[in-house]
Each structure stands twice: as structure tokens, then as C-alpha cells.
Amino acid sequence: MKLSRVTFKYLSFSLLILAALAGCTGMPEGVEPVTDFDKSRYLGTWHEIARLDHSFERDLVDVTAEYALRDDGAVRVINSGTDSETGERKVAEGHAKFVGDESTAHLKVSFFGPFYGSYVVFELDPDYQYAFVAGYNTNYLWLLARETEINEDIRQRFIDRARALGFAVDELVWLH
């Protein structure tokens, strides 16, 4: 079977897009998701303590992520933050699904239809009070906590771990 030039280009483009989307649910080299993860304990409100900056969060302060169980078993995600210039509260709603089994803290999150990005919890307090979270590459990093403040030991541990994994810790935006 011989493919026309247009069909071949279309198929090539489609495969490239699929490969790119699949790559968005991967994780940075060296990052290992937490195992023995308990989804029910992770649900609730988390405060963003630090992040690597991106346009979708730029100038936002008082950022929270709220996780709740949906009827279909997925996790409802509501991210919100206050625009530091206008004072307006911005909200984005999405959903998350586990990439593998639910005891491994590697999820894929979508805010835009069929497009997913990785959400990898690579360190988690035994009492679920703080979490280190990465995206699919070293451009995405967050430190989340149940309270708006963390102690200096956790802050330094986050910086040291992130640096060792290749994240640009000098570019972190600290909210608290």
C-alpha cells in the first residue's frame, strides 16, 4: 500500500502530536513517585509555598489547590490564586487520574479537554502535611503544604532535593 504525500504528512504529524502528549505524562529523570500513596489522605486543601514560575500562575499569590473525589473515581482539582496586581481571584477547574495504580503518586491532570500533564508527588510527609510535586520535566515544580507556613528544615530539604534532581532552584518563587 502506497501512501500519498499528504496522508504520510498527516500521519507523521499525528504520531508526533501523540508522542508529545504521551511525553507530558512522564517525569523528570531521577524523580520517583511516592509509593504507598493514600488518595483519600491527599484530598483536601493544599497551599502553594513555592513554585517554578509559569504564565498560568504568574503574579498569583495566596495559591491553593483543592482535591476532591469525583463520582467517576477521578480527582476533582480546583486551583485558585489571587492576582497580585488586580486583587481578582482566579480559578481553574480540572481533573486528575492515576497513570498506573492508585498506590503510586503519579497522576495525569487536565484543565483543557484531552490534554494531560504529569503530577508526580516525589516526597510526601508521613502525615500528609507537605508534598514535593513535579511535572513531566524539570520546568515544573511545587512545594505544597496543608498550612501556609513551613519550617526551615522542610524548606531546605525541598531546595536540596530539587537541586539534586536538576530543577532550577534559584528561580523558585516563594509565596510564604
Cell, residue 16: 508526533
Cell, residue 132: 514535593
pLDDT tens digits, 137-157: 999 999 999 999 999 999 999
> Global pTM?
0.86
Q: Which are the contacts of 137, defined by CB distance < 8 A and separation ≥ 6?
A: 26, 28
Cell 536540596: give the residue.
160
* CATH code, domain carrying 166: 2.40.128.20
Is residue 57 within 8 A of residue 81, CB to CB? The reply is yes
Residue type (1 letter), 46: W
CA 131 to chain centre: 11
Q: Which are the contacts of 170, defined by CB distance < 8 A and separation ≥ 6?
A: none
Q: Could you give the number of structural domains in the chain?
A: 1
Tell me which residue range forms the domain holding 76.
5-174
| Mean pLDDT value across the chain | 89
pLDDT tens digits, 59-106: 999 999 999 999 999 999 999 999 999 999 999 999 999 999 999 999
